Structure 1
Amino acid sequence: MDACSLRISQQVFHDLVAEVARGMAGRPLDADLQDWLNTHYGAQTPHYAALRQACATGVDQGWLCSRENGGIRWGRVHEASEALGGFSVDVVEMDGAADRGIAGPHHSHPLGEVDLILPLDEGALFDGHGAGWCVYGPGSAHSPTVSEGAARVLYLLPQGQIQFTRRAA
C-alpha cells in the first residue's frame, strides 16, 4: 500500500464521518437523534455500507484499531474538530462470542456518545443493539459490551470527552 492510497482511504473515512456529523449539528444527543441517524444513515443505507467498508479498509491498512489489550482493539482516528462537528472519532473492535460477551472499561460520557454498530458476525450486538446507531445522552455511563459475535463500533464523542472509571486499589 503506497502513502497516496493510505491518505485517500483516510480522507474517505473522514469525509463519510463528517457528513454524518454535519447532519447531527444542533441536535440533542437523545432517542430522537438515534431514530434520525437510523433513518438517514442506518444499516439499510448506502452511507452505512460505505462507512462499514471504510472501517474494514482502515483496519486492513493498520490505521484503525491499531492498539490492542485483552482482546479489544481500538484507536482514536480523529481528535475533535470543527470539520467533524466537534466530535472525536474512535473505532473499537471486540469479539463477544463467549457465553457472556466481552466488556470494555467502564466510562461515562459527560456530553454524550454516538455509536455506529458494525457487526462482523451476523447477530453480534453492542450493548444489546444490532447493526445501526445507538445514542447515549449527556451524563450516561456504561461498560461497553459486545455479545453474540464480533463487532466494530465507531464512537463519536462530543469534544472528545470521556471519563474512565477508576478501579479501587
Structure 2
Amino acid sequence: MSNIETFQGLIRQVTDFIGAQPLDKTLQEKLNKQFPYGGDVCQRIVEACRTGVQEGWMCQYEAGGLRYGRVIKPAAELHNYSVDVVDMEDIAGPHHRHPNGEIDLIMPMAASQDARFDGQPGGWLVYGPDSAHSPTVTQGRALVLYLLPEGKIEFTRH
C-alpha cells in the first residue's frame, strides 16, 4: 500500500467518526476526546504528514512563506471531505471563509510542542459554516491538516 493510501485510511477513521455531525464546538470536543493529540491515530497522522512533506507529496506548493497542497480531493469514502495540509511557521496565512465549515488538526513540529494555530495547541479545532479567519501560527512551526466539507474554501480578495 502506498503512503497516500495509508494516509487516506487514517483520515477515513476520522471522517467516519464525524459522519454527518454538525461542525461546531461540540464536535471539536468529541474529536479531541475520541482522537486525542497524543493518541495513536493522531500520532500516526502526524508521522504520515511529516513523511509526506519530506517525500514531497504533501505541501508541494509554496507562496507567501507558506507550503501547502491539497492531498485528497473531496471523496465519497471520506464523507465528501477534502484534505489539505499547510506548513506554517510564525506566519498569518491568507484570509478565507469556510462556506461549510473547516476541521483542523494542529500538529506542532518542534519537540517543545509550543506552536499554536489560531491560539490553539496541538489537537483538533473546528470552525462552523460561514466562519472566516486569517490562519495564524505563532510560537514556532506547525503542520495544519484541513478537512473541508465538499472541499469548499473561499479566499478573500484584496
Aligned mate of 2:45, from 51, 75, 82: 51
* Displacement over 3 Å in runs of 4+: none
Amino acid at match of 1:25: G
Q: Say whether 1:133 aligns with 2:124.
A: yes
Shift of residue 8 of structure 1? 1.3
Q: Say whether 1:145 aligns with 2:139.
A: no
Which residue does 1:3 correspond to in 2? none
Question: Per-residue CA shift, 1:30-68, capped at 9, x if unaligned?
Answer: 001000100011212100110000001111111000001
Aligned mate of 1:106, from 80, 91, 95: 95
Aligned mate of 2:62, from 54, 63, 68: 68
Gaps of 5+ in 2: none
Aligned mate of 2:4, from 5, 10, 34: 10
Which residue does 1:124 correspond to in 2? 115
What is the RMSD computed on CA atoms of the aligned residues?
A: 0.8
Amino acid at match of 1:88: S
SS of the residue 2:125 aligns to: strand
Q: Say whether 1:154 aligns with 2:145.
A: yes
Tell me the distance in 2 between the aligned counterparts of 1:94 and 1:166: 21
SS of the residue 1:123 aligns to: coil
Higher strand residue share: 2
SS of the residue 2:146 aligns to: strand
What is the TM-score with the length of structure 1 in the denominator?
Answer: 0.90
Tell me the distance in 2 between the aligned counterparts of 1:62 and 1:45: 26
Seq. identity, %: 49
Tell me the distance in 1 between the aligned counterparts of 2:152 and 2:56: 25
Question: Per-residue CA shift, 1:103-123, capped at 9, x if unaligned?
Answer: 000000000000000001221
SS of the residue 1:79 aligns to: strand
Shift of residue 16 of structure 1? 0.4
Which residue does 1:41 correspond to in 2? 35
Tell me the distance in 1 between the aligned counterparts of 2:149 and 2:103: 9
Q: Matched residue pairs, number? A: 156
